[in-house]
Amino acid sequence: MKKILITGGAGFIGSHVVRRFVRQYPGYRIVNLDKLTYAGNLLNLRDVENAPNYRFVRGDINDFAFLKDLFLRERFDGVIHLAAESHVDRSIDNPDAFVRTNVLGTVNLLNAARMLWNGNYEGKRFYHISTDEVYGALGNEGLFTEQTPYDPHSPYSASKAASDHFVRAYGDTYGLPVVISNCSNNYGPYQFPEKLIPLTIRNIIRRQPIPVYGRGENVRDWLYVEDHAQAIDLIFHRGQAGETYNIGGNNEQRNIDVVEKLCEITDELLGRQPAGTSKELIRFVRDRAGHDWRYAIDTSKIKQTLGWAPRTSWDEGLRKTVRWYLENTDWLEAVTSGAYRDYYDKMYKNRLQS
């Protein structure tokens, strides 16, 4: 039996990873450790919460005494580490929590794994989930490969870069069996509506202005979240210790094109005539500070070594996503009551007024 710790499993990507592992591996014991910050929500896991191979533990990766106790009690064979502060705009507003959770929290987990495994690494694995943003920004040409030098620009990406360095250092120094993947932008069900795609869908539903930073020409490489979860499953089981794998959607889109397509699909599914009317809601607003121009991933390594490629087309993935948000307005209401309103006002009120 494998005992696996998944951190951040109540968040967006983590909940898809937990769901996949709980369903796919009935013989494993899956422990989901999550602090339940504003971004974590147990509603994301309702369909697996009673599974016999699953357990939720509420806790903070910044609390080493708690982690030590948990590791000694559960004796994990593997860690899949997703817990993080994940939103770039919040990191610009207040970087401290990003340093604490993303850097120090990751080091705490590495220390807990090292303490438990104590040099006996047979059958053990520490898998750190990271982002393509550590590589910085591309111009109009080129792709990020695993060899691209790190060049983070936002406090978020700097904290993720620092955590990646610590993970590799623990591999090199102590022989910890680490593996890292760096993925491009994810989208799909259960994404918190601070991120571009769910925020846009919510505003279309409510007929509110849609804030597009700058001229909307920045480019992101979008991947459907279940395809990312599948890649994580593959890397956890078959990736080589000490290696890094880039994961991407081979799907570069300008922000303005993403938003316009969302207007068309959402209007169509809502029966608003003619589809695309909601484009009237688009507002070009003050740009994000240090806004990275373009991200795009070269996926050849994971394709050639592990046979992985994204499965979900952009059109299919976006339609599934919009349909999910339209069918889950209770979830959307629940996660956007209270603190979300304050966040939204703080981030967007001035931008949308000027």
Residue 145 CB neighbours (<10 A): 14
Neighbours of 179 (CB within 10 A): 21
Q: Does 220 bind ligand NAD (CB under 6 A)?
A: no
Q: 81-91 in b/e burial notation, b at 16+ Cβ within 10 A?
A: bbbbbbbbbbb
- For the chain, strand residue ranges (E) read 3-7, 29-34, 54-58, 78-81, 125-131, 178-183, 186-187, 210-213, 219-221, 223-224, 244-247, 252-254, 282-285
Mark the segment that binds ligand NAD (CB under 6 A) among 10-18, 65-73, 296-304, 345-353: 10-18
**Residue 81 carries which side chain, given as an amino acid letter?**
H
Pick the catalytic residue from 135, 156, 170, 295.
156
Binding string, 97-136, against ligand TDX, x = CB under 6 A?
----------------------------------x-x---
Lay out the site mask for ligand NAD across 113-152 (x = CB under 6 A, - = otherwise).
----------------x-x---------------------
Q: What residues pair up with 220 in beta bridges, in sequence order? A: 253
Largest CA distance in the chain: 64
Q: From the candidates 34, 60, 85, 132, give the one annotated as an active-site residue.
A: 132
Q: Does 6 interact with ligand NAD (rule: CB under 6 A)?
A: no
Nearer of residues 117 and 224 to ligand NAD, judged by Cβ: 224
Is residue 13 within the footprint of ligand NAD (CB under 6 A)? yes
| Residue 288 binds ligand TDX, judged by CB under 6 A | yes
The listed partner (ligand NAD, ligand TDX, none) that binds 62, CB under 5 to 8 Å by sort, is ligand NAD
Q: Is 99 a binder of ligand NAD (CB under 6 A)?
A: no
10 binds ligand NAD (CB under 6 A): yes
| Residue 191, burial from CB neighbour count under 10 angstroms (0-12, 13-18, 19+) | buried
Does the annotation count 156 as an active-site position? Answer: yes
Distance CA 21, CA 16 (A): 9
286 or 303, CB closer to ligand TDX?
286
Which of 105, 155, 211, 249 touches ligand TDX by CB under 6 A?
211
- Total residues at the site for ligand TDX (CB under 6 A)? 16
In whole angstroms, the minimum distance from the beta carbon of 247 to ligand TDX comes to: 11
Active site residues: 132-133, 156
